[in-house]
Structure 1
Amino acid sequence: MSSDAAAQFNIHDAKTNLSRIIDRVEHGEEIIISRAGTPVAKVVPLIKRVNRAGRGSLRGRLVVAEDWDAPEVNEAIADEFGMTG
C-alpha cells in the first residue's frame, strides 16, 4: 500500500468504469467510491492466502515423522479427541 491518496470515483463514474477500476485494484491500488462527494465504499485487492504452484509445492518444506501413521500415534490422537472407548 502506498502513501498516496486512494483514487476516488463517484457512483456513476464507478459504474461506467468498473472494468478499469477492477484492473487497477488487481494491480494493488485501492479505490474509493463516493456518493455526492462523501466516501461510502473502498475497493481493495484480495490477498491470496496460499500461493502454491500445484501438487508437490510443499516438497522439501514439510517434514513428516516416520511413525506418522503408526497404530500408537493414531490411538493417541483418538484419545486426545475422546474417540476411544
Structure 2
Amino acid sequence: MATVSVHEAKTHLSRLIERVLAGEEVIVARNREPVIKLVPATPAPSTRRAGRLKGKINIDDRFFEPLPDDELAAWNCED
C-alpha cells in the first residue's frame, strides 16, 4: 500500500492510476492524514433492452409441437 501527498497525487496522477490498475492500493493524504483511497472503477452494468435480439434468434417450428407422451412423462418424472 502506497501513501502519497495531495501535491504528489496531482503531479503524478497518471502514474498513480497505472499503479491502481495494476492492483496496488494507493492512499492520498493531506497533512499526513489519509483522506482518500484510489481504487479502480467497476464497469457499469449493461442495460437490457427489449427487442435487442429481434431477428437474431430463429426458433424451429417443431419447438411449438406437443411433446410425445413418453418424453412428456420423462419431464414429469413419471414411469
How far apart in 2 are the matches of 1:11 and 1:34? 6
In the other structure, the counterpart of 1:44 is 39
Query: What percent identity do the matched residue pairs reach?
Result: 45
TM-score (norm 2): 0.52
Q: Which has the larger radius of gyration?
A: 2
How far apart in 1 are the matches of 2:2 and 2:39? 11
Q: 1:49 to 1:28 in 2, by over 3 A?
A: farther
How far apart in 2 are the matches of 1:34 and 1:45? 18
Q: RMSD value over aligned CA atoms?
A: 2.0
Shift of 1:46: 2.8
How far apart in 1 are the matches of 2:25 and 2:39? 5
**How many residues are treated as equivalent by the alignment?**
47
TM-score (norm 1): 0.48
1:39-82 Cα offsets, whole Å, 9 max, x none, are 000001234477xxxxxxxxxxxxxxx56xxxxxxxxxxxxxxx
Map 1:2-81 → 2, pairs under 5 A: 6-48=1-43
